[in-house]
Structure 1
Amino acid sequence: MRSFLQLALDLFDAAPVQAPPPSIVVPEPRPELHGPQQPAQSITSVMAPAQFSHPRATRETRLCDAQVAYEFKRGKRRTIGMQVGPDGLVVSAPRWVPLYEVEAALQEKASWIVRKLGEMRERQQRLDSTHIEWRDGSSFPFLGETVIVVLDPTHAYRTVGGSLKADDVEVVLHTDAQAPNLTLDGVPHLTLHIGLPQHASTQQIRDTVQAWLMRQAHRVFTERLQHYAPQLGVQWRKLSLSSAGTRWGSASSDGAIRLNWRLVHFRQSVIDYVVAHELSHLRVMDHSPRFWETVRSVVPDYQSLRGELRDEALPRWH
C-alpha cells in the first residue's frame, strides 16, 4: 500500500488513471459450407501495444506505441534521470519537480526509451536461452564451435572420499572424424567425452566441463599472448584467469595480465582482440586515440570484434 505522502502527491500532481478502453469485438464471419469456423478476435488483442513493466513500478505512461510501467524515485538531485536496465525503466527526479514535467521529459525521450527497453528485452531473452541443463547430450560453445557433452563411463575415473572430483575425471575432446555419428540439428560437432557415469549429478557434469574449459582457456590465452607480445614490443610476466561478471580482462604496469576464462567460448579472433587490448595497455595505460591505434596495428578489425564481444550471449554458469 502506498504511503500517505505518495497518495498526496498523486492527488495534486498525477493525472487521473483512466480505465482501459473496452474491447471491440469483430463480428464472427458466417461460416462457409463445410469450412472451419474462425474464432472472434478483439481489435485490442490484435493491435495491443508493447508492454514493459518494472517489477517495482509505481507509475505508468504511454510512450510511442508502448505501455511502460516504471519505477519512480525522488531524491536530492538537480535533473531528471532515466535508466533502462534488465528490470525495465527507472526514473529519478528532484523533489521539487512536478509530475507533469517528468511526463514531458519522458515523452521527449520516448523513442530512445522504447528502443532501449526492446533491446534489453531481446538481450534478456538471449540470456535466458543460454541456460544449460547439464546432462548427457548437453552442448556449449568452445572457440566458436558447438561441443556436445558425452558421459562415457568407459573412460577411467576414480573417487576421492566417496565423491568425484572434477580434476580427477578424464575428459577427451573428439573431432567429428572420431565421432561422426554424434550430431546436433543434423550437423556433426565436436564431442567432449567425460569419464562420469550416466547417473552423475548436474553439478558434477557442470564442474567437470568448467574445469576442462579453464585449462583450455589458460593454454589458448598463453599461446595468443606469446603471439602478440613480440608484435607490440611488450613483455607480459604473469597470466591469471578471472571469473568477473562484467570485465573481460585487465593489465597491470608490472606485466600481469588477467583474462576472463569464459572468453574461451568465443572464436579465436575475438579472443585475439581482448589479448591485444590488454597487451596494448602495457604500452599505453589509458583509452586514448594512441591506445586504439596500438590495438589497430595488430587487430585491424577490432571494432567489429568488440561489438561481437558485447552482443554475444554466453552460457550462464550460475
Structure 2
Amino acid sequence: MAPTDIALVAPEMDAHGPVLPAMVWGTVSEPTQFRHPAANREAQLPGALVAYAFKRSKRRSIGFVVGAQGLVVSAPKWVPLAEVDAAVRSKGGWIVQKLGQSQERQAQQQATRVAWQNGSAFPYLGQPLTLVLEPALHRAHKGALVIDNTLRLGLPLDAAPAQIRAAVHKWLLLQARALFVERLNHFAPLLGVQWKRLALSNATTRWGSASTLGSIRLNWRLLHHRMAVVDYVVVHELSHLRFMDHSAQFWATVASIVPGYAPLRAELRSVVVPRWDEL
C-alpha cells in the first residue's frame, strides 16, 4: 500500500504538559480519534487522527506497540524524527486497524465485567452461572454448591463484593484442578505421553505451557470457556510433550485428537472472558 501523506504536529500544551483527552471515538462529523494519555505526537492516518506516545529507547529499530491505552512508538536516539514519521506513515493502515480492535476488545471486556453480588452471573464452561448467597449452606459442601445453573455460596446476604469474588475464585480453582486432571488423564494415553505435574496459571495472556520434564501449566480462567475449548488447550499442551515446538508434526499431533482445532483456537483468541484484576 502506498504511503499516505500525513501531518505530524506537537499537541497543545498547558502548564502541566500535553492537553490530550483519553482515547475516544470520533463523531459523524469528525474523524475517528485515538489518543494515548501520554501522547506527545499526533499523526493524521487513513481514517483516523492518532495521538501517540513517542519515546527514545535502546532498541535497534523503530517499534510499534498497541495496548489498552493506545499507540506507543519507540526509536533509537540516533534515528531522526523524519524517519520515525515515515515509519508511522508506512504502518498507518495497520496502526488504525489494531487501535480499532483494541478499543473494541476493551468495550467487550467492560461488558463482561462481573458485579460480585447476589443474583449476578459469570461464564462457566461457556454457560452463565448465577450467584446465589445462602448463609445457611451446609459446611459439608465446603461453602459452595452448584444446582440448576446456580452457584450457591455460604455467605451472608450483605457480603461485600470482594468477599464474594474471593469465594468464587476459590471455588473456580478447585473446579479447575479437578477438571484439568481428569482431562489430562483422558488425553495423555491417546497421545502416548505421560504428564508429571499440574500447576494452575494466573497469566493474563497465556492459556497454558508444557516442559520437557512433563510439567503442565493451565490457566484456571479456561473454565470461562466451553468444554471443547478447554479440551483443545489440554491436547495442545500434551502434544508439546512429543514436540516442543509448533512444527507441522506438532499440529498434526493436535489434529489427530482434535481434528477441528482451528475454529477452537480462533475462539480462544476472540472470546473475551471476565477480568479478575479489579472488582
Which category describes the TM-score, using the shorter chain as reference length? 0.7 to 0.9
- Which segments of 5 or more consecutive residues in structure 1 lack a partner in the other structure? 1-13, 20-43, 158-166, 176-189
CA RMSD of the aligned region, Å?
2.3
CA 1:195–1:79 in 2, change beyond 3 Å: closer, same or farther? closer
The one-letter code sitting in structure 2 at the alignment partner of 1:282 is: L
- 1:203 maps to which residue? 162
How big is the shift at 1:284? 1.0
Give structure 1 regions of 4+ aligned residues with deviation exceeding 6 angstroms.
14-19
For residue 220 of structure 1, the aligned residue among 179, 203, 210 is: 179
- Alpha carbons 1:169, 1:208 under 8 Å: kept: no
1:106-154, CA deviations, whole angstroms, 9 ceiling, x for partnerless residues? Answer: 2222111100100011111112222222110110011111000001123
Percentage identity across aligned positions?
54
The one-letter code sitting in structure 1 at the alignment partner of 2:155 is: L
Correspondence 1:137 to 2:137: no
Secondary structure in structure 1 of the residue aligned to 2:236: helix
The one-letter code sitting in structure 2 at the alignment partner of 1:50 is: T
> What pairs up with 1:1-318 in 2 under 5 angstroms?
46-157=28-139, 169-175=142-148, 190-318=149-277
- Which segments of 5 or more consecutive residues in structure 2 lack a partner in the other structure? 1-6, 13-25
Secondary structure in structure 2 of the residue aligned to 1:264: helix
1:170-215, CA deviations, whole angstroms, 9 ceiling, x for partnerless residues? Answer: 211112xxxxxxxxxxxxxx11111211111212211111111111
How big is the shift at 1:76? 4.2
Q: Distance in 1 between matches of 2:239 and 2:78?
A: 48
Q: Distance in 2 between matches of 1:168 and 1:201?
A: 21
Q: Distance in 1 between matches of 2:35 and 2:203?
A: 29
The one-letter code sitting in structure 2 at the alignment partner of 1:261 is: W
TM-score using structure 1 length: 0.75
* Number of aligned positions between the proteins: 258
How big is the shift at 1:168? 8.1
CA 1:122–1:290 in 2, change beyond 3 Å: closer, same or farther? same
Larger radius of gyration: 1
CA 1:223–1:75 in 2, change beyond 3 Å: closer, same or farther? closer
Q: Distance in 2 between matches of 1:144 and 1:56?
A: 38
The one-letter code sitting in structure 1 at the alignment partner of 2:112 is: T
How big is the shift at 1:310? 1.5
Q: Distance in 2 between matches of 1:119 and 1:255?
A: 37
